[in-house]
Structure 1
Amino acid sequence: MESSGGEAAAEWKVAVAIDGSDESLHALGWGLRNVLSSTAPNKLVLVYARPPPPFMPTTDTSGYLFTDEDVATMEQYSQDLEKSVLAKAQAILQPHEHVKVDTKVATGDAREVICDTVERIGADMLVMGSHGYGFVKRALLGSVSDYCVHHAKCPVLIVKRP
């Protein structure tokens, strides 16, 4: 594809934040159908924020000592969750072979991981789902999508699940 100046069009890089929820997977599918072109050069970057390990002092308030086995079990759960989320995304991506896909996984607060990743990769757009929290839940829990709308260094498209 060429732009009006005769040079080849740059690759369109779209980041999609996924967390395994129905809302994020719907946003991924919607973005594939409505944002990415089947004729222009595209690159889709899946962004998954792995939850940070829980803070675990050597003992909890009851004096329980966390063993290496406990810590390993929690780490294994985190890895299994990551694999499950990425497998769900791959199932949605399968019919879209024309799209180049990259995956970025980082550990930390989802809001910061998503915004930092989008900036680092130079995304042209961020697509993400909305859990549809009302005002009170959003005020108490915070909203990842609201944070990204205000802090991401690219346009953000919030896809609401019907």
Structure 2
Amino acid sequence: MTTVGQDEIVVGVDGSAASAAALRWGLAEARASGRTVVTLRAWTFDPLGDLESVVSRSPAEIAARYQRELDTMVATVRAEGEPVLMRTGTVEGAPGPALVRASAGAAMLVLGSHGHSRVLRMLVGSVSAYCLRQSRCPVVIVPARSAEEREPLPEDETADTYYPGPLL
């Protein structure tokens, strides 16, 4: 899946809580605007640098596994609200460039502010930062806090110590 239209909202999903929050935001926007949501999961086949690739026999197996994971997450989040027109798919390539290419003709690209890995959670979010710089369509970054609000705060964290920054 690489072609999207101007009436479609592309949501990058990687299985993280932040991407689930981005998907919720994208679905709400689609309900309000009448647009279609296109959820995409980027993946790469790199047996030398990626454990997922090592245990898989082929790129097709990786794509199929990511598609199943994406479908499961979409079904879970989608069950929380009213139905919206939606397509799902996987795109091969590094997440930033793959999502920028796939969303080139979209109404917008929606991403969580941080990725799935612990290292990315400490940073601004390398995929989000790449997409903000390179995208040809508007980019919405849903703060990681949106995902965390669905879970209780730790006792030592208070709401007044959190500053999510502007929503772009």
Letter in 1 for 2:22: A
Who is 2:78 aligned against?
93
Who is 2:35 aligned against?
42
Who is 2:112 aligned against?
129
Decide whether the 8 Å contact of 2:45 with 2:59 is kept in 1: no
Query: What is the Cα deviation at residue 31 of structure 1?
Result: 2.4
Deviations for 1:105-125, whole angstroms, at most 9, x for unmatched residues? Answer: 111101111000001xx1011
Who is 1:66 aligned against?
none
Q: Distance in 2 between matches of 1:48 and 1:82?
A: 7
The structure whose residues are more often strand, as a share, is 1
Query: What is the Cα deviation at residue 103 of structure 1?
Result: 1.8
Who is 1:28 aligned against?
23
Q: Distance in 2 between matches of 1:133 and 1:71?
A: 27
- Within-5 A mapping of 1:3-22: 12-22=7-17
Q: Distance in 2 between matches of 1:78 and 1:30?
A: 25
Query: What is the Cα deviation at residue 80 of structure 1?
Result: 2.5
Q: Distance in 1 between matches of 2:62 and 2:89?
A: 19
1:110 paired to 2:95: yes
Q: In the comparison of the two structures, how many residue pairs are matched? A: 131
Q: Sequence identity, in percent?
A: 27
Q: Secondary structure at the match of 1:48?
A: strand
Who is 1:4 aligned against?
none
Structure 1 unaligned regions, length at least 5: 1-9, 57-68
Decide whether the 8 Å contact of 1:15 with 1:118 is kept in 2: yes
Taking structure 1 as the reference length, the TM-score comes to: 0.68
Deviations for 1:39-84, whole angstroms, at most 9, x for unmatched residues? Answer: x43111111102323249xxxxxxxxxxxx9652886466334312
Larger Rg over CA atoms: 1
